[in-house]
Amino acid sequence: MLELRSYVGARWVAGTGAPQTLLNPTTEEPLAHASSEGIDLKAALEHARATGGPALRAMSFAERGAALKAIADAMQSEREALLELSIANGGNTRSDAKFDVDGAIATLLAYSEIASTLGNSRFLVDGEGIQLGRSARFHGQHIAVPRHGVAVHINAFNFPAWGFAEKAAVALLAGMPVLSKPATSSAMVACRIVELVAGGKLLPEGALSLLVGSARELVSHLGPQDVLAFTGSGETGAQLRASAAVINLSVRINIEADSLNAAVLGPDVEPRSDMYELFLKDVVRDMTQKAGQKCTAIRRVLVPQQYHSSVREDLVELLGAIRVGDPKNEDVRMGPLASRAQLEDVRRGVGRLEGKHVFGSPAPLGAKGFFISPILVEDPASAVHEHEVFGPVAALLRYKDDPAEIVARGAGGLVSSVYSDDQEFIDRMVTGLAPFHGRLYLGHPKIELSPGPGTVLPQLVHGGPGRAGGGEELGGPRGLAFYMQRVALEGSRPVIQKLLGK
């Protein structure tokens, strides 16, 4: 069987000890083994810091951007192979696989384009120069420089390609070497991408490392110039935030965790209108795309009292048309969950939501594979505002007065969406929802090819306060700040201007 290896210290290294087995979640057939036992994690980080860091810092933004483009191009040439791996190892339909792989390529290209606007510099100029005294000679200027550590990325199982790329593109462009740790169960796609980068020498030595298998004591080796970015459960996020390196050495940490994303239908939106149909389409897409295993998927569907039965009937009908099965089949719209652990977690979570199942049930589907049907829950318990069920599950909630107050019970989310043509209502929702979110999606039927709220775009920030982890990624050039140190230069204006190359 295939043995996945880690890429550390510019070498491919196999772990020792009892490996974890990666399965095809459709057939439960074993695909590969992986273990990180015996790998010198401290040396891996030190190599990245000592070799990859200086090499990246010697490159201009434009040169780093060219490297990102080369990675995107390499992925594009191997796209079919990556899609096949994604279907086999991730239980993805071809459409789901494209969402991951093409999203990764698009994100790399977006940051490559941002690089071209930053040009031949090696640091960022932050804002205008500031006159600090009565005379213009006493001058201040903020700049941002790459941190001298390594960026450790601990990624979620659901997007092995995109999750790798959305973090790595930003760190590499900022000038920090990356050690990427994919979730083991779906690591095959990420491994293949790193093989492309390493094999093609698309980055300087030490700029990209890969750790397959358990992270073991990795985080304990981090130091004050390192950063740690994590996407996954709130529970693991809290453990990482409580680690000694973060607490005592101020290792910078970014967490993207649980989110009870809401979709709010405005009271002005009549059934059968274009806005109404868009709302239904977005809800059903988010429930079933990637079998609901998206951190941005709609979990709470808020509808005005008077349209509640109409929405329920329409959603039940649309969900009934979703064919669940082997994602290799072209007419299948939803594949299995990614692993047995996820299946069990989702079934437990549906139990916590209580309420009435107006569509679907948490019973396993079929004799093989980690299948479950989409589930629409009505009149759920208050757990609907507290517990993220990471699968094809949403709850239908009716509101009378203020839906924003209901959404806010989620205590911080990545994205919520509003579907309304009433500017006063939209205004009120944005005011009420903005403090609790990293992104607000305002649905509009006239936007062609609208990706819906579940798609993260590299130009916009991704993250959210509170339960969502309190982090922020992407947002075009905004994402670079996490990997850089902002420093104020204070002194004589001519000296500072010479430093800036003016």
Which residues are designated catalytic? 256, 295
How would you class 381 by CB atoms within 10 Å of its CB: exposed for 0-12, middle for 13-18, buried for 19 or more? middle
The reply to whether 140 sits near a copy of itself by the rule CB under 8 A is yes
User: What is the rounded distance in angstroms from the CA atom of residue 342 to the CA atom of residue 290?
Assistant: 13
Supply the minimum distance, in Å, between the C-beta of residue 74 and a copy of itself: 26
Min separation Cβ 229 and a copy of itself, Å: 14
- Contacts of a copy of itself in 167-226 (CB under 8 A): 223-225
Q: Write out the binding residues for a copy of itself, residues 143-162 only, by CB under 8 A.
A: 143, 145-148
CA distances (Å), origin 396, targets 264, 280, 430, 501: 10, 12, 21, 58
Q: Which residue has the tokens 């390493």?
A: 198
Residues 441-470 that bind a copy of itself (CB under 8 A): 441-444, 446-450, 453, 457, 459-461, 465-470
Rounded Cα distance, 193 and 181, in Å:
13
356 bridge partner residues: 378
- Name which of 1 and 248 has its Cβ closer to a copy of itself: 248
State the Cα–Cα distance between residues 132 and 478, nearest whole angstrom: 26
Least separation in angstroms between residue 54's CB and a copy of itself is 12
Q: What are phi and psi of 432, to 5 degrees?
A: -75, -35
Looking at 1, 18, 80, 133, which residue binds a copy of itself (CB under 8 A)? Answer: 133
Among 116, 250, 305, 309, binds a copy of itself (CB under 8 A): 250
**Whole-angstrom distance, CA of residue 362 vs CA of residue 360:** 7
Nearest-5° Cα angle at 493, 489 to 495: 75
Q: Is 489 in the site for a copy of itself (CB under 8 A)?
A: yes
Three-state SS for 195? helix
* 490 binds a copy of itself per the rule CB under 8 A: yes
Determine if 428 is a binding residue for a copy of itself (CB under 8 A).
Answer: no
CB of 263 to a copy of itself, least distance (A): 13
Q: Nearest distance from residue 249's CB to a copy of itself, in Å?
A: 6
User: Distance between CA 268 and CA 122 in Å, rounded?
Assistant: 51
Residue whose CB is less far from a copy of itself, 359 or 419: 419
Choices 92-100, 346-354, 374-382, 428-436 (CB under 8 A): range interacting with a copy of itself: 428-436
Q: What is the DSSP letter of 209?
A: E
Q: Does 436 bind a copy of itself (CB under 8 A)?
A: yes
Counting contacts by CB under 8 A, is residue 106 touching a copy of itself? no
CA distance 180 to 151: 8
Residue 43 sits in the site that holds a copy of itself (CB under 8 A):
no
